[in-house]
Amino acid sequence: MDKYTASDHNAILWEISCDQKRERPNRQTNTTVGWKVKTFDPSTLIVAIDSKPIVAGPAEEMTKDLMKRVTHTSDASMPRKHNINQRPAVHWWNDQISVLHKECHKKGRISHRSYRRPNSAELITEYKNARQALNKTIKDSKRRC
């Protein structure tokens, strides 16, 4: 570093330039790429394919055009996969556990909000009972699998 700062701390220097236009690298937020094939609609695919004429030209342009057409027609005929959770599905999870999980979190939020209210002890016991029921159901489901 050539600049004197009169400090024994390490300086952090940066430059801001307005004349260059740099694009950020295109990061994919979803790790899963693809479409939900179970919801495939063949009639929409046919309409999407027929909507755009095939471009004639060099092989590279035709390849790029083909890939764009495949993506466009797939987007038109079926929704994309979204990997929101980032966790794989567990084999012991079922609909009953899902309902109890929602109920437990709802009662937990209610009990935490009503901490200083007169009926807070009652709401806390309801939350504890819901949590125990959820944990018991999860353990039973894990034992069965």
- pLDDT, average across residues 5-11: 75
pLDDT at 107 over 90: yes
* pLDDT for position 30: 46
**DSSP string of 46-61?**
HHHHHTSPPPPS-HHH
Residues 27, 23: Cα–Cα separation, whole Å: 12
pLDDT at 105 over 80: yes
Please state, rounded to an integer, the average pLDDT across all residues of the chain: 84
pLDDT at 22 over 60: no
Greatest alpha-carbon span in the chain: 78
- pLDDT, average across residues 24-36: 61
